[in-house]
Amino acid sequence: MSNPVLELLNNHRSIRAYTDEPVTDDMVATILSAANAGPNMNNYQPVTFIEITDQALKAAVTAQVGMDYIESAARYFVVAVDFNKDLIGLTPEVRALAEARLATYPMLEGGIVSAGVALGRAQVAAEAIGLGSVTMAGALGAFELYEKHLKLPQLVKVVMGFSIGFPAQEPGIKPKLPLTGMWMKDHYDQAQLEAAVADYDDTMTAYYAARGVDSSWVKNNTKLLTRPRDYTALGQYPKQKGFKI
């Protein structure tokens, strides 16, 4: 089955290099309207896109996390779970009860899922109007800078970065796991998954080799999951924002 929407979805590329052509406010409004129109947890609408326009701050974030496509992007946003908006208009008594509920881990998890849905829709909308984009979990590594400069209240926690601009590269489509690596029936099938990963590892070995790189999916996962990283501060960050995880 095929149609223009499915073709757009199946031809996704993460863009990490951008031209100097400006992205207009009308384009951003189009993208964020599409993101905002999607489903979310209980219609709490617990997602906020905060654009950083200060080029010096974008440069500082880039230096912190090592992602040049933050500083060089025409528009850069941090995407936050935002339950502060749901407290507005409540009486003091109701607000106290609401804050206790919103601070729980299941609410944070629902907010993160809602943010992921919004980001996926934003990427498709950006690509539909000729822009490129990239989402970045690693941008969270600069959370201290966001907290220092963005005036984020309690129950508002950054979860991702999002850059958009006109593409200055054609990176090609990165292969993904076959459907047997994500579609199971009736129970979790470890044997099916291991077979899918083995096939995919061969695919990724060839993909990297065509780019002059000696790697595979398993090798890349090994590198990423064993390199030294101290997640202590990131692990405490949700608690700093009032979430009782």
DSSP state, 66? T
Token readout for 167 is 């593409």
Angle made by CA atoms 150, 156, 158, in degrees to the nearest 5: 70
**Over the chain, what is the mean pLDDT?**
97
Once rounded to an integer, what is the mean pLDDT over residues 218-235? 95
DSSP state, 74? S
Contacts of 9 (CB under 8 A, 6+ apart): 124
DSSP state, 104? B
pLDDT in tens, 62-91: 999 999 999 999 999 999 999 999 999 999
Rounded distance, CA 146 to CA 61, Å?
9
Q: Are the beta carbons of 47 and 82 closer than 8 angstroms?
A: yes
Token readout for 53 is 């326009």
pLDDT in tens, 111-164: 999 999 999 999 999 999 999 999 999 999 999 999 999 999 999 999 999 999
Percent of the chain with pLDDT over 70: 100
| CATH no., domain 4-173 | 3.40.109.10
pTM of the model: 0.94
Enumerate the β-bridge partners of residue 221: none
Residue 167, helix vs strand vs coil:
strand
**Strand positions, DSSP E, the chain:** 47-51, 75-82, 132-136, 156-165
**What is the residue extent of each domain of the chain?**
4-173, 174-230
Backbone angles phi, psi at 131, to 5 degrees: -100, 165
The two beta strands, 75-82 and 132-136, are unpaired
Residue 245 pLDDT class (50, 70, 90 cuts) = confident
Nearest to 95 by CA among 49, 154, 157, 36: 154
Rounded distance, CA 148 to CA 139, Å?
15
Contacts of 170 (CB under 8 A, 6+ apart): 13
Residue 102, helix vs strand vs coil:
helix
Percent of the chain with pLDDT over 90: 100
